[in-house]
Amino acid sequence: MEINLLTLCYLIGSVTFIIGLKMLSHPESARKGNLVAAAGMGISIFGTIFLYEENGEKLHNYGWIFAALVIGTIVGTLAAKRVKMTSMPELVSLFNGMGGACAALISVIEFKHITAAAHTDAATPYATYLSIFAGLVIGSISFAGSMIAWGKLNGRVKDFSFKGQQVFNMVLFAGIILLSAYLIFGLTPENQFLFYLVLLGALVYGVLFVLPIGGADMPVVISLLNSFTGVAAACAGFLYNNQVMLTGGILVGAAGTLLTILMCKAMNRSLLNVLIGSFGGGATGTQQAVTGNYKEISLSDAAVCMSYAHKVMIVPGYGLAVAQAQHVCHELEKLLEEKGVEVSYAIHPVAGRMPGHMNVLLAEADVNYDKLMEMEQANDEFKSTDVVLILGANDVVNPAAKTDPASPIYGMPILEVEQAKTVIVNKRSMKPGYAGIENALFFQPKTSMLFGDAKAALQKLVAEIKSL
């Protein structure tokens, strides 16, 4: 009866994961979907703790188990509540890395159990070894890569590459796979130590394949590493014959992989280049010099320009998140609409520092999801737009992506804001964006600069519009 009840717990968990993932597809149901999936996870965890049984024995070490649950719950809750929206990509990378580390540690522990029991012959199925090594390699790469991504997002780790790194990465990865295959089919007591060489190689590869990746490409990397963690968790599900771990891992892995493919398409990049560690590094030659003079616009002129426009499009970027200006941005939107102005938002797939960063930011301010336009739709609308207001975005509106073959972002589809009648750019200064390159858009005749913190500038802009 207990086994059947545990199976029911796993079934509930699996179904809630699927339902929760479906609900995450829309901001109005996303929060509830998260709670539904979390409830299913809770049922699965406590079902395992109290109902799991093998050879007539239940789990032991309840003290350690519940101590870990309490500590993890407290740390996770505090981290999630205190994190700023600007630091959300870092937190996602950190938590994702912990998932990869968990999967890798499961493989290490299970390998030690098998070898300690002297099951190094045909008595242990090859599928078991395959699950162990797959979880070890993928989980270790996810952990190491996520830690580097975390460091790069918060500025502690800089881009680094060396001559021949692509070849070295490919050779290293091939060596990891070949050594794993050798141990799966030929493990003996004498060569067991090579298991830890696979672990070390996977950790090194995880570091090396993320280190050279440029800032503008980090959202794709985060998505890819997330899919790695899901696959590693699925391997642990195979290893334990645990349906809920398998379902959860497959869902995360599949969703992350699909998102990565879509992000690569949006960036016009090759997924192969991501895997060999040269992502965003294919530019050659000398970048075109950005010359000319920029012009500033006063708050009063910007207020008049936007108030008497027929259509205004807002392009949010990382600067909006840094200033926590999403709420006053929504206030500006409502104020303009009261004056009869049509307002919408143009969202680039990789705006911000992680997939969906801007969508989450605007949803937090209760911006109507229907007002958010994807890049292709927005590019069709710019031609009939009177004013484009760019709030802290840089690389996703940089014309160099279309005109400069030597630029690191060359070939990346961008928001073609220059097609609008007037472009107003809000930035703190003329410093380059996250990719570290100048933006020729700022020097074009139709572009005016509105300097200052996004929140303060928007608050003053709202006040100016109200006074008209």
Q: Is residue 290 part of a domain?
A: no
pLDDT value for 279: 42
Residues 411 and 311 in one domain: yes
3-state secondary structure of 120: coil
CB atoms within 10 A of CB 54: 7
Residues 256 and 319 in one domain: no
Model pTM greater than 0.85? Answer: no
Concatenated DSSP letters for 395-452?
GGG-THHHH-TTSTTTT-----GGGSSEEEEEESSS---TT----GGGGSTTEEEEES
Residues 203 and 89 in one domain: yes
Q: Is residue 72 part of a domain?
A: yes
- Domain around 315: 299-467
Domain boundary pick from 282, 317, 345? 282
Residues 276 and 336 in one domain: no
Amino acid at 464: E
The 10s digit of each residue's pLDDT in 298-353 is 999 999 999 999 999 999 988 888 888 999 999 999 999 999 999 999 998 878 77
Give dist(CA 222, CA 90) in Å, integer. Answer: 10
Residues 174 and 127 in one domain: yes
> Each residue of 329-347: b (16+ CB within 10 Å) or e?
bbbbbebbeeeebbbbbbb
Q: Is residue 291 part of a domain?
A: no
CB 124 within 8 A of CB 192: no
Q: Is residue 294 part of a domain?
A: no
Give dist(CA 228, CA 217) in Å, integer. Answer: 17
pLDDT value for 1: 46
Give dist(CA 364, CA 370) in Å, integer. Answer: 15
Q: Is residue 70 part of a domain?
A: yes
Give dist(CA 245, CA 102) in Å, integer. Answer: 12
Q: How far is CA 189 from CA 77, 113, 200, in A?
A: 44, 13, 19
Q: Is residue 287 part of a domain?
A: no
Residues of the chain with pLDDT under 50: 1-2, 120, 277-285
The strand pairing partners of 388, in sequence order, are 313, 423
Residues 46 and 170 in one domain: no
CB atoms within 10 A of CB 350: 24
Residues 69 and 93 in one domain: no
Q: Roughly what angle, to the nearest 10 degrees, separates helices 27-51 and 62-82?
A: 170
Catalytic (active-site) positions = 395
3-state secondary structure of 208: helix
- Give the count of domains, the chain: 3
Which residues are CB-neighbours of 281 under 8 A, at least 6 positions away? Answer: 161, 212, 213, 214, 273, 408
pLDDT value for 84: 77
Residues 151 and 19 in one domain: no
Which residues are CB-neighbours of 99 under 8 A, at least 6 positions away? Answer: 139, 142, 229, 232, 233
Q: Is residue 312 part of a domain?
A: yes
Q: Roughly what angle, to the nearest 10 degrees, separates helices 126-153 and 88-116?
A: 150
The strand pairing partners of 54, in sequence order, are 57
Q: Is residue 33 part of a domain?
A: yes
End-to-end CA distance of the chain: 73
Residues 2 and 130 in one domain: no
Residues 99 and 226 in one domain: yes
Record the tokens describing residue 23, joined without a space: 């609900």
CB 227 within 8 A of CB 271: no
Please report where in the chains the tokens 């609409």 appear, as a residue: 337
Domain boundary pick from 28, 63, 82? 82
Residues 253 and 124 in one domain: yes
Residues 2 and 147 in one domain: no
Domain boundary pick from 254, 282, 310? 282
Give dist(CA 51, CA 380) in Å, integer. Answer: 57
Record the tokens describing residue 84, joined without a space: 């700023």
The CATH number assigned to the domain holding 430 equals 3.40.50.1220
